[in-house]
Amino acid sequence: MQASDRFNINSQLEHLQAKYVGTGHADLNRFEWAVNIQRDSYASYIGHYPMLAYFAIAENESIGRERYNFMQRMLLPCGLPPERDED
């Protein structure tokens, strides 16, 4: 692998990270990463009707109620953020 290839790969990665929030970046902590994963999952469940219907049947709820529950869970999917140490 040449230096130009490495630069090209890094620039492509930076472009993806700037374009899509969920791809992460160097300063992303574990909590923020988990929140991105959970929100992406809930958005996928809401957007794919068969998956939403599956969850509704499994939890014995209506599809509209499941959609509402998933949207509510998207607000704080992993609970409150941890306290940060200000150095």
pLDDT of residue 52: 97
d(CA 47, CA 69): 14
> Residue 40 is encoded by which pair of tokens?
């992406």
d(CA 12, CA 18): 10
62 neighbors 47 (Cβ within 8 angstroms): no
CA distance from start to end of the chain? 39
pLDDT of residue 14: 79
pLDDT, tens digit only, all 87 positions of the chain: 676 666 687 788 778 777 876 677 777 888 888 998 999 999 999 999 999 999 999 999 999 999 999 999 999 998 888 887 765
